[in-house]
Every structure is written in C-alpha cells, then in structure tokens.
Amino acid sequence: MQKRLKVLIIILGICLIGSNLFFTYRYFSVTKELELTTEKQKINISVLYFTQLFMAKVLRGGEVVSFDDRLQLENAVRDLSDKEIFGSWEKFTKAKDQAEVQTDFYDLFDLLLKKIQP
C-alpha cells in the first residue's frame, strides 16, 4: 500500500509539472500573439486614419486642397512610417495631368487597402 501511494504521488507530481510546462508555453505563445495583434491594430488604425483624412480632404474637399489640409495629410502619411505608402503619396502629389492623378490615386488607394491587415 505504501509503495502504491509513492508511485501515485510521483505520477501526480509528473502530471503537475507537465501541465505547468504546457500552460507556461501556452501563456508565452498567446502573449506573443497578442503583441502581434496589437501591432497590426496600430498599423490598421494609422492607415485608416490617413485614408479617412485623404477621402475627406482630397476627394470630398473640392478642386484645390488648402495648405493646412495638405500639411495635415503630409504629417499623417509620414506618421505611417511606411516607405511604400509615402512613395505612392509623393507620386500622387507630383502628378502633372488629370490622367496621371487618377492613375496615381487608384494606386495609392489600392495600396492603402492592401496595407490593412486582418
């Protein structure tokens, strides 16, 4: 009887240690996943903010974008810290004719939509 109790305690101890190791591993993997999700959310919020600002100031704003609006857009696109979006923005702002503006607009808008991460 005494020997069975010792074996049972050893088996129970091994199970407890194993479960602790498993839950420790799960804790760290879920924490890492949460960090990645939080980072994606920050990127999505920044991209959506710029997209909303772009829609309000450029598309709905009329023909000419004011200096203050342009400055606000420029700061918002720089806050994204995304070279690809910034390059597309510069290309859009340096367009020479209406056809080039439309093409660059679609490229920029498509890029913004692709940067939003699920």
Residues spanned by the domain of 39: 2-115
Is the predicted pLDDT of residue 61 greater than 80, yes or no? Answer: no
Q: How many domains does the chain have?
A: 1
Choose among 76, 81, 90, 84: nearest CA to 111. Answer: 84
pLDDT the model gives residue 63: 73
Measured CA angle at 59 (ends 54, 63), to 5 deg: 120
In angstroms, the CA 86 to CA 103 distance is 16
Measured CA angle at 77 (ends 40, 108), to 5 deg: 85
pLDDT category of residue 15 using cuts at 50, 70 and 90: very high
How much is the pTM? Answer: 0.75
pLDDT the model gives residue 32: 97
Measured CA angle at 91 (ends 87, 92), to 5 deg: 115
pLDDT tens digits along 19-59: 999 999 999 999 999 999 999 999 999 999 999 998 888 88
